[in-house]
Structure 1
Amino acid sequence: MPEKLTNEERAALIVLMLEDRDVPNVELGNDLTIRLSKPGRERLNKLGLLRSWKEKARIVHRITEEGISWCERDLAALGSPPNSAPLLRAYHAVLMHFVQLHQRLGDLAEVLRSGRDLESVIRAAYLALSVKPQDWVRLAKLRPKLNGAERDEVDAVLLEMVRTGTVHVAPDSNRKVLTEADHAAALRIGGEDNHLVAIEES
């Protein structure tokens, strides 16, 4: 059995496993509706299941490999709720079959995380990097936060978001500050390299 944790701590780890990225504490509470108390955060960090740090005066979390392993064991050991109805027990049996199968295959966490669509991943990464709404963020900083998504896929989603008006891109006018990473990460539209992105709230 995995280390005994509170429901609050368990929920935080499961959600952070699914997100698979750096998640600001304010986003964890407001958008993902998981309230992780300071004692809970400190406990998870002490156990090596979570890594938390301060960034721009805000606390940011990321689950560790040990935390992902804990989640897999916790899911595999999950029992059906007491006195549950037959249909709920049947659903639980299907879920357990799925969890145990992919745990044996060694790809449970990967399969669970693959359900997120790429636009959501892009928006979440942008939110983590931006300081204020519709802030300009460098594509060179955004791309590494997209869980290894293929460049062509990312470009296609960004171009579609630009077309719908929810994303704005722009070149950096100060060419002297551009790095190799900026050039490599640029989104080319109409023969022009764009290095900055701003995303409107959905």
Structure 2
Amino acid sequence: MSEKELTLVDRCILVTLMIKATPLPQTYFTNIVGISIKPDHRRKLLSLELIEVTAKPITLALTDEGWRRAGEELGAEAPKRAGAAGGTLYVALDFLRRLIDHSGTQADDLFRLQINGGDVVSALAAGPSALPDAAPSQDAVATTDADPAILVRRAYQELAGKPGDYVMLSDLRSVLDDLPRAEVDAALIRLNRDRNVHLVPESNQKVLRPEERAAAVSIGNQDKHLIAISS
């Protein structure tokens, strides 16, 4: 595959999917990462067999070839006209490549780690055999944890770039589409009492899309559209 087949946006889509190590709704790229994925991007990556796409909501996932191709970005040179942000990204990716090479882990093992405190540092120091188990899939979580509030917190962790980032409730509900809306609403209302959970309305109501309005939860006679959970 020649390098000119992939644009910087294409590469960033693959790298994001690799680092998150889970299928991601397209709204995650738009609202969290800041990547506007056009149909042409999806068609190109599909034609190259680098991603799989499912609908309702549109969700992207890496194929085995996609994992391989995304891994090539670790240690690669920044594309021409990548800009300051792109150049910084490739400095970070080069560091990850050196970390992976030093530890003897595989890239997919590293990104699938369930990060808890110092587990990652100690596991990498001990070698691949000490790596903790990968984070459970959403299906596994749903079958082992009955508390919707826990599922809401875990869904938020999947979507948020870092603790404290605001996530649209419409995106959160997409991840929790197996739960009845009433259970999610009740969990959100209960979580709103926690000091580290913040449910707020969108300050600019004009930018809200119909699905974002519909996903709001009413608390104190006010519709809340966004959630943030700080550590």
TM-score w.r.t. structure 2 length?
0.45
Which of 158, 176, 179 aligns to 1:130? It is: 176
Q: How big is the shift at 1:95? A: 5.7
Whole-angstrom CA distance in 2 between matches of 1:108 and 1:161 = 37
Structure showing greater relative contact order (alpha-carbon pairs closer than 8 Å, 6 or more residues apart): 1
Q: CA RMSD in A?
A: 4.2
Q: Alpha-carbon deviations, 1:132-180, whole Å to 9, x = none?
A: xx9436xxxxxxxxxxxxxxxxxxxxxx9997685xxxxxxxxxxxxxx
Q: Alpha-carbon deviations, 1:6-35, whole Å to 9, x = none?
A: 111111111111122221112221122122
Identity within the alignment, %: 20
Residue identity in the other structure for 2:52: R
Q: How big is the shift at 1:66? A: 1.5
Residue identity in the other structure for 1:67: G
Structure 1 residue matching 2:61: 3-state secondary structure = strand
Summarize the Cα distance change of 1:34–1:114 in structure 2 as closer, same or farther, 3 Å threshold: farther
Q: How many residues align?
A: 138
- Look up the match of 1:176: none
Say whether the 8 Å CA contact 1:72–1:103 is kept in structure 2: no
Summarize the Cα distance change of 1:95–1:6 in structure 2 as closer, same or farther, 3 Å threshold: closer
Residue identity in the other structure for 1:16: L
What are the ranges of 5 or more consecutive residues in structure 1 without an aligned counterpart?
Answer: 83-87, 138-159, 167-199
- Look up the match of 2:36: 35
Say whether the 8 Å CA contact 2:155–2:176 is kept in structure 1: no
Summarize the Cα distance change of 1:12–1:120 in structure 2 as closer, same or farther, 3 Å threshold: farther
TM-score w.r.t. structure 1 length?
0.51
Say whether the 8 Å CA contact 1:2–1:70 is kept in structure 2: no
Which of 89, 94, 97 aligns to 1:96? It is: 94
Q: How big is the shift at 1:108? A: 2.1
Residue identity in the other structure for 1:15: T
Whole-angstrom CA distance in 2 between matches of 1:16 and 1:50 = 9
Residue identity in the other structure for 2:77: L
- Look up the match of 1:108: 107
Say whether the 8 Å CA contact 1:25–1:60 is kept in structure 2: yes
- Look up the match of 1:44: 45
1:201 aligns with 2:227: yes
Q: How big is the shift at 1:96? A: 3.1
Whole-angstrom CA distance in 2 between matches of 1:95 and 1:22 = 20
